[in-house]
Amino acid sequence: MGEALAQGRLLAFTGAGVSAESGIPTFRGPEGMWRNKRPEDLASPEAFRRDPRGVWEWYQWRRARVAGCRPNEAHLTLASWAWAGGLRVVTQNVDGLHDLALENMRPVPPGPQGVAGSSPDPGPGRLPSRGAPVPPVRLHGSLFHTRCTACGNEAPYPWEEGGEGDGPPTCGRCGAMLRPAVVWFGEALSPEDTDRAFQWATEASVTLSIGTSAFVFPAAQIPLTTLANGGTVIEINPEVTPLSSQSTLHIRAPAALAVPALLGSPGPA
């Protein structure tokens, strides 16, 4: 693991389970957000055309839920390795918690320029950085951005209390209806994001597949791409998935426990 990190070839590929211990429900399974509904009835362009207000309300409910959640030890450990060791993150999640964790783990700035021994102690788990990490690839978009259904303009949509029952807002540029800037079933992923994710999967000597049912394509091909290129895949998931039998190692434990136990904290630079 240390060698993969030293060469910047460790990839974390994450799904809803990495955020479960932050209090965000997963999609599938008995406690999942889809337990009573067909996924296509909430997360497809057809569903939004049929019932924009209903689908928008589901996203408003999720924004409210996520806005109260914080990154857990799995996000924070991955973020500290991204700052100190070049770990890369590809996520299917739209909750923004990997980005928030990177911000939380940002190393303290160095002390007065060039004065030896003047750097302040960065504090536990916060290390001098090799340089800014590359931001996570968010394969399925973001809960906190909207996209215009007519002109395609994307804009941040910060969650604010209230307005839950108002239905989708309209575009400030062209007046058409806005939608969540996420990738629904049957929609193409961003080609740039997809290319980057598969490039990283090809280059990875170790890919950690964390908290995903490995059920949704093309994302599920990411760990398989690492394997096909001679790399190692370590799955972290309390349950068995279609990936488990192909993984090099399956750690059947929750992410917030297993990720810090596996990676530890990056030592002094």
Binding site for ligand BJW (CB under 6 A): 15-17, 20-21, 26-28, 32, 39, 43, 92, 94, 140, 182-188, 211-213, 215-218, 236-239, 241, 254-255
Q: How far is the CB of 233 from ligand BJW (least distance, A)?
A: 15
Of 38 and 173, the one with the shorter C-beta distance to ligand BJW is: 38
Closest CA to 86 of 53, 134, 20: 134
- For residues 75 and 260, give the distance between their C-alpha atoms in angstroms, rounded to a whole number: 9
Q: How far is the CB of 181 from Zn ion (least distance, A)?
A: 12
Binding Zn ion (rule: CB under 5 A), the pick from 50, 70, 173, 252 is 173
Output the DSSP codes for 42-111. Answer: TSSHHHHHH-HHHHHHHHHHHHHHHHT----HHHHHHHHHHHHH--EEEE---S-HHHHHHHHTPPPPPS
Q: Are 10 and 4 in contact (CB under 8 A)?
A: yes
269 binds Zn ion (CB under 5 A): no
**Which window, 65-73, 120-128, 171-179, 246-254, contacts Zn ion (CB under 5 A)?**
171-179
Residues annotated catalytic, as ranges: 140
Binding Zn ion (rule: CB under 5 A), the pick from 12, 97, 139, 171 is 171
Q: What is the DSSP letter of 28?
A: S
Q: How far is the CB of 21 from Zn ion (least distance, A)?
A: 38
Q: What is the DSSP letter of 246?
A: T
- For residues 258 and 235, give the distance between their C-alpha atoms in angstroms, rounded to a whole number: 10
Of 53 and 173, the one with the shorter C-beta distance to Zn ion is: 173
Q: How far is the CB of 175 from Zn ion (least distance, A)?
A: 7
Provide the binding-site residues for Zn ion, judged by CB under 5 A: 148, 150-151, 153, 171, 173-174, 176
